[in-house]
Chain A
């Protein structure tokens, strides 16, 4: 396959949404402007796959790697038990890192089902076709892979893309350089964009409190009007 075709394949995937063929551990060489070249690695075996691991190619706006960060991320049903109404979660929900950090993720799946550590919003020319880095585990086990962060302060979405896993709690945020805000519905951290409506516990006690509050409101109006009249009379 010639280099141009190799470069076009991810684009074809983006446009058509169809999977494209590629050997495991095959290194793709993507020509960039000038002399620099980007090497991407998609590897797959019976334990899972890694997409867009990158140990050594710097984003264009990073002069050098600011430092190495190693994180261990665990995924599983048990990490959701502390969050009411959630089913799956990571053991952490937030990370803070310096721009241009080289991040090595040791991803451990504690469940016998599939989970992913997927991060979106990375530069697309380095993490084609959509700026995604991912570690997927088909079942219990672990994989380790590395990627390099961009310079701009940004909050990145980290999630598992199996249907309803993010919605069920497997969602976290990675803040680079302080981030650019918070993502919604990160378990234990931020409220949902579209919160659920729960039944209210309307007891007699609550009803009495409400009625008393209403009476207080009425009395307040009377008091205020009396005070105003008195003030008027004094003037």
Chain B
């Protein structure tokens, strides 16, 4: 090749590259005077659904069922009061009419034998099954049964569930799980000194156990078998289709915890964890043995009723979707076991979802509002089932911490504060006073309570989400149990598109015009053709150089 030819080629390439760089801005979205408009404002979007919208529900009213007083609940979809009554009396003691009004199996909670003659049963037999929510199906791209933690968010979950009967979906035309199959695993309440048997009926395809964390129980049962639920020490896991009965007679009271101890790091985080409460032994102390989905206790113990107006169970969990999607990636349990136990590395884990009582905001407002009246004392039992620290902040209130890990703190040492710190598996009992004195309460309103470890108030990084809920004074409550928000519209948070990241945070707000989505820039036709031709010329020239190498060489 002559030097002249080489110079021509090199300068041609240089000129073309310069042209390409100059024209590149025409396809990168750089604009001139014409700035793109806001894509969609409030009026352009379809109307979002209401968070509740059910103004009356027969399950909300206070009623007496089979002699059991079930308190009122303002929840959008409250606990089935017949189920509450069945948990209080035992499925063996309620009328068939009541039992048929529940979805409980006839042997879900058996109560008998008032041994100390104080008017309540002292031998309690609880049966728990293991349910999988949002698990995969070989029959198609669907998760069965479906359980949304937030709009459109369906991570795979394992939960302990009360022994039920019938279908797992609410009906044949829906994949949605029945209300008894949900996160968190049910709160279990027993009385101090009761002989309690908890039978794990392993209905799942993985082995599991129950470890009673903080609850007084013997290491071995009366037959000398392992009773601690830990497969590393005294027992083998309960295999699929098998059962094991754990027995205890707790001497100490308090808010405790229970969880599966098989591959604990995975199974606990998959959702096999629940609150366990041991109540003081009192006469005529018929306890609500299970509180499905935690939240308001509709039949509190004698001791709690003496000191408090209301009682709420608050169970915090977090989820790493990478772990929980293991059960959605395959159907064969061997493939799931490999993914979960060998491929997934928990030391690289980051939590994506944060739950209060099995839901993330805004669904927390459906079943985890703390509804208060002025001058009340409300008992909050809190368990941190997360893998991270919980820094629970109450707006407008400073609650008093009365118990840590079930142990009562001496009165003089009790601390009143607005952020309660709990490490993983720790519990706290709070006395939330609604006395408007500027210290315990700033007065009636709609006050947030949430994890102040900030990612805890997001759902897959999008806020507001996570475990946000509200302390709502009754005067600020709508007829459907939702809070009055002074004209604030939270409809945008009910849309699955919001948590999928497909919708502007401000799209439905008054700032939509200012902060909404900018419309896509249409590439200018002339500039697009010019840029395309230049790129084509560069590629063509390079190909010609490669292909014509032999000819060029011959020419030399």
Contacts and interface: CB of A to CB of B under 8 A. Distances in A.
Interface stretch (A61-69, A130-138, A173-181): A130-138
A130 B80 CA distance: 23
A161 B178 CA distance: 12
A94 interface: no
Contact of A138 (B82, B105, B174): B105
B66 interface: no
For the complex, would chain A's binding face be called helix, strand, loop or mixed by DSSP majority? loop
A26 to B, nearest CB: 9
Interface stretch (A27-35, A44-52, A147-155): A44-52
A162 B204 CA distance: 9
Nearest to A168: B205
B242 interface: yes
A14 B167 CA distance: 13
B133 A112 contact: no
A161 B168 contact: yes
Contacts of B172: 120, 130-132
A114 B101 contact: no
A222 to B, nearest CB: 25
B170 A193 contact: no
Interface residues of A, number: 53
A77 interface: yes
B335 A20 contact: no
Interface in B137-180: 137-141, 144-145, 163, 165-174, 176-178
A71 to B, nearest CB: 22
A44 B102 CA distance: 13
B332 A44 contact: no
B241 A76 contact: yes
B223 interface: no
Contacts of A36: none
A235 interface: no
Interface stretch (B92-100, B297-305, B444-452): B92-100
Contact of A136 (B166, B171, B205): B166
B543 to A, nearest CB: 26
A79 B195 CA distance: 36
A19 B101 contact: yes
B205 A87 contact: yes
**Which interface residue of A19, A42, A112, A185 has the most chain B CB atoms within 10 A?**
A19
A195 B138 contact: yes
A24 interface: yes
Contacts of A84: 332
Which secondary structure characterizes the binding site on chain B?
loop
Nearest to B172: A130
Contacts of B205: 87-88, 164, 168
B210 to A, nearest CB: 15
Contacts of B203: 113-114, 162-163, 165
A192 B331 contact: yes
Contacts of B480: none
Contacts of A132: 172
B25 to A, nearest CB: 44
B103 A19 contact: yes
A22 interface: yes
B402 to A, nearest CB: 37
Contact of A114 (B82, B173, B177, B201): B201
A44 B103 CA distance: 12
A188 interface: no
Contacts, number: 159
Contacts of B106: 44-46, 48-49, 138
A113 B243 contact: yes
Interface residues of B, number: 58
A184 interface: yes
Contacts of A114: 105, 129, 163, 165, 201, 203
B107 interface: yes
B333 interface: yes
B131 interface: yes
A112 B242 contact: yes
Nearest to B83: A19
Nearest to B130: A163
Interface in A173-206: 184-185, 192-198
A75 to B, nearest CB: 10
B139 A194 contact: yes
Contacts of B141: 194
Interface in A1-31: 13-14, 17-24
Interface string B89-119: 0001000111111110111000000000000
Contacts of B204: 163-164
Contacts of B82: 21
B556 interface: no
Contacts of A130: 171-173
A77 B139 contact: no
A111 interface: yes
A118 B172 CA distance: 12
A44 B331 CA distance: 33
Contact of B137 (A13, A139, A167): A167
B483 interface: no
A229 to B, nearest CB: 27
A112 B166 CA distance: 17
B155 to A, nearest CB: 15
Given A167-B136, A194-B138, A112 B241 contact: yes
Interface string B115-137: 00000000000000101110111
9 contacts: A21-B97, A87-B240, A112-B201, A136-B165, A163-B133, A164-B144, A164-B204, A167-B331, A194-B138
Given A18-B80, A46-B92, A130-B171, 15 more contacts: A17-B170, A17-B171, A17-B174, A44-B99, A44-B100, A77-B240, A112-B242, A113-B202, A113-B203, A130-B172, A162-B129, A163-B144, A163-B145, A163-B181, A196-B332
Please name the 5 residue pairs, one residue from A and one from B, whose CB atoms are nearest each other, closest first.
Answer: A77-B241, A17-B170, A192-B138, A85-B332, A130-B172
Interface of B: 80, 82, 92, 96-103, 105-107, 129, 131-133, 135-141, 144-145, 163, 165-174, 176-178, 181, 201-205, 239-243, 330-335
Interface of A: 13-14, 17-24, 42, 44-46, 48-49, 51, 76-77, 84-85, 87-88, 111-114, 118, 120, 129-132, 134, 136, 138-139, 161-165, 167-168, 184-185, 192-198
